[in-house]
Chain A
């Protein structure tokens, strides 16, 4: 329903983006960053208003270096066609960067447009590793995480602990397919097997019991959830209810702070999950969380907004380095400069961006705490393992990215 219902409003949403406030004459000195994500659907809590807040924080922390920065926002409602039309409109109206872009299908659509128009696509929220693989682009940086990173960390940990045969419940679109594929590859590479899968329609599925029963009947040892947000929460609740955990391990391959909060520690305890950012990871992440709290509805940031912080901060550094006029003239030049400069920000610490556009940083395997272990409303994770930056992501040579010369 939400799709159809929102479809009616789509045209209206796109028009509302219209008139940009500043006069054209000032264009030369203003950098415009458009944060596009899901403001009204299932991904809102992970990457919605939070991403806007953290982007604004990055602009504020960067300070003034001779040019103004304007932050815009739009709701793509998880629809590739709507996302594409907003991006076109933005670029034609002088927006230099689209940022965040969760929902892989939308990200892939906008990726192409940013390249065509020679603007910048900074991606934090989308999961598909194809953004730095076959679809890599000289105008794109993929910052926070991807399906390969999740698969390697969570998937490998579960295979190692004896979970050798897998059944996947997969969101039937680009993201779910990529996550299932990347995890399946890991499972097989480690000598495990994939015994079956069920692909559910996104976002029209509320009840997962039918798929859970298929998973149970398959005899697999691991239930791999290649899904996200409320879907994952509903699937895990169902799995507990139907007693799947008696014989199966649950691998929630993409699960973030808001999902764990929503599931509750009671149902969530013991789950393994992977994130490159957690608010309580170190002094720098805690300081950032403190700084942005008032802007961010008094809740700690999920990894997607944290990614917006890191990548926008780094982007602005590259713009200052390159000069505003040159930066506005060519998105590819800014991205090239971003790749040439080492990164360092409070959310992710020091790192770098590879030739294929992949940002490199460590990934962390967390375990969800039991209710008794938690010392505060957002004290939800225990750190179990760290994958070093150079090993966390797909090796450069294996991605089939045309930008990488072999």
Chain B
């Protein structure tokens, strides 16, 4: 068996693959954040809480309504997206003319409230959610034992990321959205209802977080803190990729998942810090992020 830097090669391949899987979650979450920031100029600190709401929505659909995973994958994002639309209408829409900090503080406060409510209602230790039978089991890849479900997560994340990127960069709707961020008044003059479009964009960004939550529910304990562990990493991913850059956040999400995975092999204690070290270096060298326009 060959060794690479003292680590058996099969183990290293396995870790690369795992890094890719975790990167899929980072990519999905940072994508939603990038969409919201890029088009609304809001730093959505509630994104982790909305990810958690997606997982809880899946759990509720199953426990209270007997609705299984596949429908939850469709319904949970819609439900959570609607709560996002309500939040935008009630609160966030009042902040567009103010400094970024206000949006950050508002959504940060909302996140704390949402997490607190779920904690009071469901406790902190979490709820069980089963892997759907169609996706249970595992493939023996020789160098590692690969759960089918994790493979599905990567595929789903890639589809989602590519679709979102295509919609924003290549469709007429995407063109309106991008135009509205440049000059809302002018786009409105062409007869496009800009406030409604912005509201729906926030809802869509939130729905992306909720899809991530549903995908995570069978793997991790469904608990109120599940988003708060991820969100700070995801913010770092967005900053490294370049605030508001859709493609940047997708690529950076996957890449940093891999970097983190490798750190877990060579120096596990540092695995929570490595992403921030990279963030610091990137900010020094390229303040606008790897894919950002200065």
Instruction: Please give the residue numbers on chain A whose beta carbons come within 8 Å of chain B beta carbons, in ascending order.
Output: 1-2, 4-5, 9, 40-46, 48, 172, 198-201, 203-207, 209-211, 213-214, 216-217, 229-230, 233-234, 237-238, 241-243, 258-259, 261-264, 266-267
- Report whether B138 and A210 are in contact in the complex, using a CB–CB cutoff of 8 Å: no
Closest to B136 in A: A241
- Report whether A5 and B144 are in contact in the complex, using a CB–CB cutoff of 8 Å: no
Within 8 A of A (CB), among B75-133: 108, 111-112, 116, 119, 123-128, 130-131
With both chains docked as a complex, state the minimum distance between the C-beta of A38 and any C-beta of chain B, in angstroms. 8
- Report whether B271 and A242 are in contact in the complex, using a CB–CB cutoff of 8 Å: no
Q: Of the candidates B128, B144, B147, which one forms a contact with A262 in the assembled complex, judged by CB atoms under 8 Å apart?
A: B128
- Report whether B268 and A198 are in contact in the complex, using a CB–CB cutoff of 8 Å: yes
Is B183 engaged at the interface, CB distance under 8 Å to the other chain? no
With both chains docked as a complex, state the minimum distance between the C-beta of A301 and any C-beta of chain B, in angstroms. 13
- Report whether A233 and B125 are in contact in the complex, using a CB–CB cutoff of 8 Å: yes
Is B225 engaged at the interface, CB distance under 8 Å to the other chain? yes
- Report whether A210 and B265 are in contact in the complex, using a CB–CB cutoff of 8 Å: yes
Is B155 engaged at the interface, CB distance under 8 Å to the other chain? no
- Which of the four size classes fits the interface of chain B? 35 or more
When distances are taken between beta carbons in the complex, the residues of chain B under 8 Å from A230 are 124-126, 221, 223, 225
- Report whether A262 and B264 are in contact in the complex, using a CB–CB cutoff of 8 Å: no
A-B contact pairs, 14 of them (CB 8 A): A4-B232, A5-B228, A41-B124, A42-B223, A199-B269, A201-B273, A205-B272, A207-B22, A210-B15, A210-B264, A213-B144, A229-B125, A241-B150, A259-B125
When distances are taken between beta carbons in the complex, the residues of chain B under 8 Å from A229 are 124-125
- Report whether A45 and B261 are in contact in the complex, using a CB–CB cutoff of 8 Å: no
Is B230 engaged at the interface, CB distance under 8 Å to the other chain? yes
Interface segment out of the listed B6-14, B66-74, B194-202, B286-294: B6-14
- Report whether A2 and B229 are in contact in the complex, using a CB–CB cutoff of 8 Å: yes
Q: Of the candidates B124, B127, B219, B261, which one forms a contact with A44 in the assembled complex, judged by CB atoms under 8 Å apart?
A: B124
With both chains docked as a complex, state the minimum distance between the C-beta of B15 and any C-beta of chain A, in angstroms. 6
Bound state CA distance, A46 and B223, in angstroms? Answer: 14
- Report whether A44 and B226 are in contact in the complex, using a CB–CB cutoff of 8 Å: no
Q: Which of B126, B147, B228 has the most CB of A within 10 A?
A: B126
- Report whether B119 and A242 are in contact in the complex, using a CB–CB cutoff of 8 Å: no
With both chains docked as a complex, state the minimum distance between the C-beta of A385 and any C-beta of chain B, in angstroms. 26
Bound state CA distance, A382 and B228, in angstroms? Answer: 35
Bound state CA distance, A213 and B10, in angstroms? Answer: 10
Q: Of the candidates B8, B19, B21, B272, which one forms a contact with A204 in the assembled complex, judged by CB atoms under 8 Å apart?
A: B272
- Report whether B126 and A5 are in contact in the complex, using a CB–CB cutoff of 8 Å: no
- Report whether B124 and A207 are in contact in the complex, using a CB–CB cutoff of 8 Å: no
Bound state CA distance, A211 and B261, in angstroms? Answer: 9
- Report whether A234 and B11 are in contact in the complex, using a CB–CB cutoff of 8 Å: no
Bound state CA distance, A196 and B264, in angstroms? Answer: 14
With both chains docked as a complex, state the minimum distance between the C-beta of B68 and any C-beta of chain A, in angstroms. 16
Bound state CA distance, A43 and B185, in angstroms? Answer: 51
When distances are taken between beta carbons in the complex, the residues of chain B under 8 Å from A43 are 124
- Report whether B112 and A5 are in contact in the complex, using a CB–CB cutoff of 8 Å: yes
When distances are taken between beta carbons in the complex, the residues of chain B under 8 Å from A203 are 229
When distances are taken between beta carbons in the complex, the residues of chain B under 8 Å from A41 are 124, 225
When distances are taken between beta carbons in the complex, the residues of chain B under 8 Å from A211 are 264, 268
Bound state CA distance, A203 and B229, in angstroms? Answer: 8
- Report whether A45 and B125 are in contact in the complex, using a CB–CB cutoff of 8 Å: yes
- Report whether A42 and B145 are in contact in the complex, using a CB–CB cutoff of 8 Å: no
- Report whether B269 and A5 are in contact in the complex, using a CB–CB cutoff of 8 Å: no
Is B18 engaged at the interface, CB distance under 8 Å to the other chain? yes
When distances are taken between beta carbons in the complex, the residues of chain A under 8 Å from B225 are 2, 41-42, 230
Known: A200-B269, A210-B18. 5 other contacts (CB 8 A): A198-B264, A213-B11, A233-B221, A242-B138, A263-B221
Bound state CA distance, A4 and B18, in angstroms? Answer: 27
- Report whether B116 and A40 are in contact in the complex, using a CB–CB cutoff of 8 Å: yes
Bound state CA distance, A204 and B264, in angstroms? Answer: 13
Q: Which of A44, A45, A207 has the most CB of B within 10 A?
A: A207
Closest to B25 in A: A207
Is B149 engaged at the interface, CB distance under 8 Å to the other chain? yes
- Report whether A1 and B223 are in contact in the complex, using a CB–CB cutoff of 8 Å: no
Closest to A48 in B: B124
When distances are taken between beta carbons in the complex, the residues of chain B under 8 Å from A234 are 220-221
Bound state CA distance, A214 and B265, in angstroms? Answer: 8
Within 8 A of A (CB), among B211-263: 219-221, 223, 225-226, 228-233, 261
When distances are taken between beta carbons in the complex, the residues of chain A under 8 Å from B145 are 216, 242-243
Bound state CA distance, A211 and B225, in angstroms? Answer: 21
Bound state CA distance, A234 and B126, in angstroms? Answer: 10
Bound state CA distance, A104 and B107, in angstroms? Answer: 33
Given that A207-B22, A217-B10, A241-B149 are known contacts, is A1 also in contact with B221, CB under 8 Å in the complex?
Answer: no
With both chains docked as a complex, state the minimum distance between the C-beta of B188 and any C-beta of chain A, in angstroms. 37
With both chains docked as a complex, state the minimum distance between the C-beta of A241 and any C-beta of chain B, in angstroms. 4
- Report whether A233 and B126 are in contact in the complex, using a CB–CB cutoff of 8 Å: yes
Bound state CA distance, A236 and B269, in angstroms? Answer: 20
- Report whether B127 and A207 are in contact in the complex, using a CB–CB cutoff of 8 Å: no
Closest to A207 in B: B22
Bound state CA distance, A199 and B130, in angstroms? Answer: 28
When distances are taken between beta carbons in the complex, the residues of chain A under 8 Å from B11 are 213-214, 217
- Report whether B10 and A45 are in contact in the complex, using a CB–CB cutoff of 8 Å: no
- Report whether A205 and B271 are in contact in the complex, using a CB–CB cutoff of 8 Å: yes
Bound state CA distance, A74 and B226, in angstroms? Answer: 23
With both chains docked as a complex, state the minimum distance between the C-beta of B224 and any C-beta of chain A, in angstroms. 9
When distances are taken between beta carbons in the complex, the residues of chain B under 8 Å from A237 are 219-221
Closest to A212 in B: B18
